[in-house]
Each structure stands twice: as C-alpha cells, then as structure tokens.
Structure 1
Amino acid sequence: MSDTTMQAILLDRPGPLDTLRFGTLPIPRPAPGEVLVRVQAAGLNPVDYKFAEAGDGIAVWPHVLGVDVAGTVEAVGEAVSKWKPGQRVAFFGDPWRRGGFAQLAIARAETLAAIPDGMSFEIAAALPTAGVTAYQILHRKLPERPQVVLVFGVSGGVGGLAVQIAKAAGHHVIAVARTDRADMARALGAHTVLAPGPDLLAQLKASTNGHRADLVIDTIGPDNPNDVLDLIAFNGGLASIVAFPDFSRLRWFERGISLHEVALGAAYRYGDETDLADLGLMLTSLFAMVDRGEVGVTIADMVSFADIPRTLGRLKRRKLNPGKVVATMDFPSSNQNHVSAAEPGK
C-alpha cells in the first residue's frame, strides 16, 4: 500500500461471498458536501451479503460493502463547515456506493453523527442500520402517544433495539420470543413476553384485556409462522423491514390497518436532502439515548478485518449469537489475495 492507495475488501461483480477478495483502491477524495472518514470499526448487516449477491444499481466496480461505519474525519470537501479532521463520527452509508470495509470511506456530510466521548467506535458502528431502523419506526412512523407495540425477532439487532426504544418512548412493549430467549427479551425491557405459535393471538388478547397490538414490528417476514395481520388492532399498523405478508384476505373498510415500510438505503436513491439529513439526526438522537443509558447495545461478535467475509457467511446462515456483529479495522500489513466465506474446514 502506498500513500495514494488503501486496503479494502473488493467485490468485482455480483456473486457469492466467496468471490470477495482483499485488494487496494485509490484513496477517494471528498467532493463538495462530502467527508472522508478513516474507518475504525464497521458493522456487519444482512444488507451487505444481499448487495454482494444482487449488485442491483451498483455503477462502479469493484464495489466495497459496508454501510455501518465509525471512525475519524480525515478530510472534508468544499462547503463543509460542521466537520473537522480528527472528529469522531459514524454514519449509515449509501449501499450503492463504496462503503466501510476499507481503510477510508466517503460520507455525505449531513448524514454524519458525532460519537459521544464515552462511546467506543465499536458501539457506534453497531448502531446505524439496526438502531436507526428501529428509531425511525418508533419516532417517525408511529404516533407520539402510548401504544401497545409487539415486536418479533428480539434476538436480532433491529428487534432488540426496537424493544428498548419503544419502552423509552413510553409504549407498552410485548415481545414474541422462544422460551430460551424470553429472559433476554425481559432484560431488554419487554413488559410481556409471548411464545410464538398458533395460540399467539389468544395470548396477546389475554395479556391486553382483549386488545390487539397498535403496532406490530415484523423483522422475520415470509418465514414468520404467525399471521401478523391478525395481531393488529383497529387503526393499528404493521412496520416491516422485510417482505410484506399476503394482504389479499383483508377486506377494505374493515380494520383500517396502516403499512409502514422501512427502507433506510432508499433515502439515497429516492429521498432528498432533508431525508438524508434525517439519517444523521436520527443517529444523533440514538447516540444520546445510549449515552443516557436508555438503550444498550449487545455486540454478539467482534471480528477482525480479515474475518469479515467469513463472518458475513455465518451471518447469512444465522450461525451467530444474538446481537450485532462488528469488525475492528485492524488492517493486515500485507494484502491477501482471496478469502472464503465458509466456516473453517468447510
């Protein structure tokens, strides 16, 4: 590596994770309104392996994955006055642009959030995708009044943070969790924990004096064995971060259900400057909640830069512990040519 190049994990074309390779790229320069960030930690998310396999809309190859980034400001482009070199920042990046699995990454200035003094880079990197998704559901989609909020997938990043953010906002939080995850759901702040299964609706009504959920947060999607639509109260809503259920059996003018789609990355393609700035505002608010002790972050695994491809494979196969996965960017002194996303020995 020279003074003009940086190390990165490269994707030469859409394909499986075992096509990722270590290599170098020219160090990018921030354009007007942009900031160059030296990456200290990066979060791993399902969006990473999904983009690797699909590659839809990626214009510049080789691509660099990694949308959750925490680090220090290295340089700023023209018309950037808020950020200075050396500041500690984090951001949710544009999935279609080269991302954080590299020594340096470009961010839109308005999407950055300052990392509080007492927060580590690793905790900051664990929050953008999962945390801002949960925050947007509960503070942008849901009316600001006490609600009954039912959350699926509490062992995942979005679900676990949604329970905590909902409780901090004053909602009555019900988690759906298996017996072996019930204690974890209570520790996160769930007021009630229900077991998944055919009697889930009956359990819900029994725990709420016959009421259903004002908001159902579904992080499971088509694999969810429960009918989420049956769980929603009159004038209630469904917030989904995955594919939607089958709405064909619902009749118009029956329960007045609202649908809330959450698609953070789409802000870069279909949003405007206000939408992009809101990514930074939401992350800033979330950092403040963590700083006040209202929200905690569970890091399931901390991996090295060299282990990112293999760990993405484990993430896809759901072979990781509950919580978030973060890579510390301890770049090797020499480049490796090829990496595998398979488990050791596979």
Structure 2
Amino acid sequence: MQLAALAGTRVFATEAAHNAEHVEALGAEAVIDFRTEDISTRVRELTDGRGLDAVVDTIGTDSATANLQLLVHGGGLAAIAGRPDLSAVPPFGMAPSVHEIAFGAAYTVGDERARARLAGMLADLLALTAEDRLDPMLARGIALEDVPAALVELSGRGVRGKLVYVRD
C-alpha cells in the first residue's frame, strides 16, 4: 500500500473500521469496512462504476477469486496468499492478468538474473526506509526463544506490523 501511494496511485483498502485511521496513514484514499460494507458496491461507487485496474490480495484463494470481479478489462491481480480460481471468469471476457508474489522463488527456481532483480528491489526498499519515505512497520523485536510463540501470534492475523528476531 505504501509503495502504491508513493507511486501516486489511488489506493483503496479493505479493513475493519477500527483500523481505518492506521490504513489511511499508510496511504489509502478510502477504507472499505469488509465487515459492514459490500466491497463490490463500494468499489463501484469509488470508481464511478468502472472497477479497479489492479488488486493486491493478501487473504487467500477465495478472496482472490472474488476480487477478480472487481477488475476492469485487462486489470491485474497480484496474489500473495493463494491463487484465484480462474474458472470463475468466463473465457475471453475480462482478460485478467494474474500474478503470484513469490519472492523466495527467485532462489528456489530462479536464475542469477532473478536473484539480482530481487536484490535490487530490496536495495530500493532499504533506501526508501532510510529516507523515511517507507515505514517498515516494526511491531517489536523478539528473542530467539520467543520465535515459536511469535509465529503462533502472527497466524492469528492480529499483529499490526512485523515481529523481528533480534540477536543478543
């Protein structure tokens, strides 16, 4: 969200109402409360009926599949937590562009060029962070023995920010 906002993109986010202020501070122009609002209706209102050029889905397969319906013709969906079911889209209709965000794959199936691109992206992110243009959203540092409990805590999706192992 922060990167899209830095690039000058209009950003809409789905989040519970109690987190709206935080999400707006990260660059969202509008926050849709997924608990009380119909996301599709609200997106159509915000875009004057057009739909979205792009969606980044961080929830999972069902969410990514539903988000395909929000895209304009030729729009793109980037999936972080699960691929959408493309059978939900009629063939040769809206022509979505679907992408997986799988950075680690640069090391498992990529070549040197893929790893160099990933390293370049990291360098760019670190530069933005050093310039205070990107908030790394560190929640807190944890000791090595606290890592298992932190993973459980993260799986509950209630942590705002990142838990970072800090070596003694």
**Fold-level similarity (TM above 0.5):** yes
Cα distance in 1 for partners of 2:23, 2:65 equals 18
Cα distance in 2 for partners of 1:201, 1:313 equals: 32
The whole-number CA distance in structure 2 between the counterparts of 1:226 and 1:322 is: 25
CA deviations 1:241-267 (Å, max 9, x no partner) are 121222212112211110011111111
Equivalent residue runs for 1:47-86 within 5 Å: none
Equivalent residues in 2 for 1:16-31, closer than 5 Å: none
Identify the residue that residue 6 of structure 2 maps to in structure 1.
Answer: 168
The answer to whether the aligner puts 1:284 opposite 2:123 as a matched pair is: yes
Please, which runs of 5 or more residues in structure 2 have no aligned partner?
none
- Normalising by the residue count of structure 1, what TM-score does the alignment of the two structures yield? 0.46
Please state if 1:250 is matched with 2:85: no
Aligned partner of residue 228 in structure 1, secondary structure:
helix
Structure in which a larger fraction of residues adopt strand: 1
CA contact (8 A) 2:153 2:159 kept: no
Q: What CA distance in whole angstroms lies between the structure 1 residues aligned with 2:109 and 2:146?
A: 33
Shift, 1:310, TM fit: 2.1
Number of residue pairs aligned between Structure 1 and Structure 2: 167
Change (3 A) 1:313 1:291: same
Q: Choose 1 or 2 for highest CA Rg.
A: 1
Contact preservation (8 Å) 1:196, 1:226:
no
RMSD of aligned residue pairs (Cα, Å): 1.8
Q: Deviations over 1:183-214 (max 9, x none)?
A: 11111111111121562111111111112111
Post-superposition offset of 1:269: 2.1
Aligned to 2:99: 260
What corresponds to 1:296 in structure 2?
135
What does the per-residue CA deviation read over 1:116-157, in whole Å, with 9 as the maximum and x for residues that have no partner? Answer: xxxxxxxxxxxxxxxxxxxxxxxxxxxxxxxxxxxxxxxxxx
Deviation digits for residues 34-64 of structure 1 (CA, Å, limit 9, x no counterpart): xxxxxxxxxxxxxxxxxxxxxxxxxxxxxxx
Aligned-partner residue type, residue 283 of structure 1 = L
**Which one of the candidate residues 181, 204, 209 is aligned to 2:48?**
209
Q: Distance in 2 between matches of 1:169 and 1:298?
A: 19
Query: Where does the alignment leave 5 or more consecutive residues of structure 1 unmatched?
Result: 1-162, 331-346
1:49 is aligned to none
Which residue type is aligned with residue 212 of structure 1?
G
Task: Tell me if the contact between 1:301 and 1:324 (Cα under 8 Å) persists in the aligned partners.
Answer: yes
C-alpha contact (below 8 Å) 2:64/2:83 kept by paired residues: no
Q: TM-score, normalised by structure 2?
A: 0.91
User: Deviation string for 1:271-312 (max 9, x for gaps)?
Assistant: 111111112110111111112222112112321122112222
Cα distance 1:317–1:202, how it changes in 2: closer, same or farther (>3 A)? closer
Query: Do residues 182 (structure 1) and 20 (structure 2) align?
Result: yes
Give the equivalent residue in structure 1 for 2:145: 306
Query: 1-side partners of 2:88 and 2:4: how far apart?
Result: 30
Which AA in structure 2 matches 1:296? D
The residue type equivalent to 1:182 in the other structure is A
Q: Which has the higher contact order (CA 8 A, sep 6+)?
A: 1
Cα distance change, pair 248–225 in 1 and its aligned pair in 2 (3 A): closer
Distance of aligned partners of 1:184 and 1:219 in 2 relative to their CA distance in 1, 3 Å threshold:
same
CA spacing shift, 1:223–1:251, aligned 2, 3 Å: closer
Higher helix share: 2
Greater than 6 Å deviation, 4+ residue runs: none
Say if 2:167 is the partner of 1:329: yes
